[in-house]
A and B are shown apart, each in its own frame.
Chain A
Amino acid sequence: MSIFSYNGAAIVAMAGKECVAIGSDLRFGVQMQTITCDTPKVFKIHDKLYLGLSGLLTDAQTLHQKLMFRHNLYKLREERDMKPSTFGHMLSNALYERRFGPYFAAPVVAGLEPDGTPFLCGMDTIGAIETAKDFMITGTSPESLYGMCESMWRPDMEPDELFETVAQCLMSGFDRDALAGWGAVIHVITKDKVISRTLKTRMD
């Protein structure tokens, strides 16, 4: 049994025209038993920056708390929010600090840079960072999610189209995963607002 498939998750982030969308499933389970269906794996850092964390849920929650702490200190000192690219590199550093006793979490960072360009990056469990212009996924069934995203992603999607695409990729991806699903939440981040939608999906 892999530690990364103890809880189960599916996270998809995509970039559109001056907007990004990030979504996750809502299942919280322990191996094959489902416990609740209202546990998102995407966390807000600030209005233009969201973080998705898959893997062991306890590590995902702890990492989120530690990063919120670091971001809050940053805001006090710099008197502004952290840029997504900076946040990504800070996260990478935080993960590598624990190279020989890592957090069992694989993050996806999605946000809008101060000039409005979308920023997407993903990391492995010890902080190897890769940025992307199209999409980033992580979870217990990466093959299903990659397949859906590669087929469905197009450049320069408007926010509503982007939401539909992320929703369909996420749902079709986790419908083939026994450990992810039971509802989904998707956040679409544009320069003046964030629209969060909860999806009703198959509950099996």
Chain B
Amino acid sequence: LGTSIIALTFDGGVILGADSRTSTGNYIANRASDKITPLCDNVYTLRSGSASDTQAIAGYVQHFIAQHQAEEGDQVTVKTVANLVKMMAYNNKDFMQAGLIVAGFDKHGGGQVYSISLGGTVTATPFAMSGSGSTYINGFCDKYWRENMSEQDAMEFITRALRYAMTWDASSGGCIRTVTITAAGVKRQFIQGSQIPPTYGELPRQQVVA
């Protein structure tokens, strides 16, 4: 999964965003894949790395969290889900290649983002990016991210960041999918490739002739 994934907290919840390209080598196997997977009603995960490894982890976590939720009788906290994902990644670290970002909303901590990297490290941060495309937007995100943005600003920030990542990283592309999680619930959005504003290449330049 060469990928660009990003999640950030805003004033009232979290937004998760991802591109939609799955490539095997340089062939684009799926140009409209969905890398945002629900783990429970209020917690979603963004998947990067090996597609099969991340799908397997998500499957196990969905199962165990459903059991845990039944026992709790209440909304599961984002931290619990993140820890469970970490256990999967850490205990199988020799066999896995999975970088996941777990993000969600619970009434105790509000919107939270946890990044789980290759070996099983969990880091709680206000925003997180992962995948091969994230390297190209480190500078951009450091400059333009602000704490407690409005939902609209956060959405614009994510689409802009992903758009740059998709332009520069060959293994990211397609369309932008986002999921917004707030106290009110979950909202999925989809931005077609043709609706993504252009970046490099649209600037006026000299006619290219051999």
Contact = CB atoms under 8 A, between A and B. Distances in A.
B21 A178 contact: yes
A43 B210 contact: yes
B170 A178 contact: yes
A110 B11 CA distance: 59
B2 interface: yes
B181 to A, nearest CB: 26
Contact of A5 (B26, B28, B166): B26
B193 A202 contact: yes
Q: Helix, strand, loop or mixed for chain A's interface?
A: loop
A188 B27 CA distance: 28
Nearest to B173: A204
B184 interface: no
A178 B28 contact: yes
B26 A38 contact: no
Contacts of B193: 202, 204
B168 interface: yes
Nearest to B196: A204
Given A26-B208, A178-B173, A185-B208, A200 B201 contact: yes
Given A26-B208, A43-B210, A50-B210, A34 B169 contact: yes
B141 to A, nearest CB: 18
29 contacts: A31-B170, A32-B170, A34-B167, A37-B200, A40-B208, A40-B209, A44-B209, A50-B210, A141-B27, A143-B27, A144-B27, A175-B31, A176-B28, A177-B28, A178-B2, A178-B23, A178-B28, A182-B167, A182-B201, A185-B210, A196-B207, A196-B209, A198-B207, A202-B193, A203-B167, A203-B200, A204-B21, A204-B167, A204-B193
Interface in A150-204: 175-179, 182-183, 185, 187, 196, 198, 200, 202-204
B21 to A, nearest CB: 7
B174 interface: yes
Given A32-B170, A140-B26, A204-B174, A176 B208 contact: no
Interface string B159-172: 00000001111111
A8 interface: yes
Given A32-B171, A40-B210, A185-B208, A203 B201 contact: yes
Interface in A6-51: 8, 26-27, 29, 31-34, 37-38, 40, 42-44, 50
Among all A-B residue pairs, the 6 with the closest Cβ atoms = A204-B173, A37-B201, A204-B166, A178-B170, A43-B210, A179-B26
Contacts of B23: 178
B170 A29 contact: yes
Q: How large is the interface on A (under 10, 10 to 19, 20 to 34, 35 or more residues)?
A: 35 or more
Nearest to B4: A204
B26 A198 contact: no
B208 A33 contact: no
A198 B172 CA distance: 24
Interface in B5-55: 19, 21, 23, 25-28, 31
A33 B202 CA distance: 19
B205 A38 contact: yes
B171 A34 contact: no
Contacts of B170: 8, 27, 29, 31-34, 178-179
B109 interface: no
B162 to A, nearest CB: 10
A175 B171 CA distance: 12
Contacts of A5: 25-26
B2 A44 contact: no
Nearest to A24: B210
Contacts of B207: 196, 198
